[in-house]
C-alpha cells in the first residue's frame, strides 16, 4: 500500500467518519483511481471507524505543513 498526496486527496470529500467499506464505496462512486480503491482494500479492518484521512495515512500533510502565508495572497 502506498499513498501520495494526489491519491489521498481523492478522499478529502469522503463522508467522515466512515468505515473501510464506506470509504471503498465512496471511492468507487466518485471515480477515484484504482490505486485508491486498492489501498483501501489493503487496510486491515477490524470494524474501525476512521475519523479523517490521517487515520489511514498518518503522514498526510496538514495545512500547517505548508510554508506560505495565506494573508499575503
The DSSP code for 58 is T
Average pLDDT score over residue span 41-70: 79
Domain locations in the chain as residue ranges: 15-56
Average pLDDT score over residue span 53-70: 72
5 φ/ψ angles, rounded to the nearest 5 degrees: -60, -40
Is residue 68 predicted with pLDDT exceeding 80?
Answer: no
* Chain CA centroid to CA 65, Å: 17
The predicted-structure confidence for 2-48, as pLDDT tens digits, reads as follows 888 899 999 989 999 999 999 999 999 999 999 999 999 999 878 88
Residue 47's alpha-carbon distances to 13, 18, 30, 50, 63, in angstroms, are 21, 10, 23, 10, 29
Amino acid at each position: 500500500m502506498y499513498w501520495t498526496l494526489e491519491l489521498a486527496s481523492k478522499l478529502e470529500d469522503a463522508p467522515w467518519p466512515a468505515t473501510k467499506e464506506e470509504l471503498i464505496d465512496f471511492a468507487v462512486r466518485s471515480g477515484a483511481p484504482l490505486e485508491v480503491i486498492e489501498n483501501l482494500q489493503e487496510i486491515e479492518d477490524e470494524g474501525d471507524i476512521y475519523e479523517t484521512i490521517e487515520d489511514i495515512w498518518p503522514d498526510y500533510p496538514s495545512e500547517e505543513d505548508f510554508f506560505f502565508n495565506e494573508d499575503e495572497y
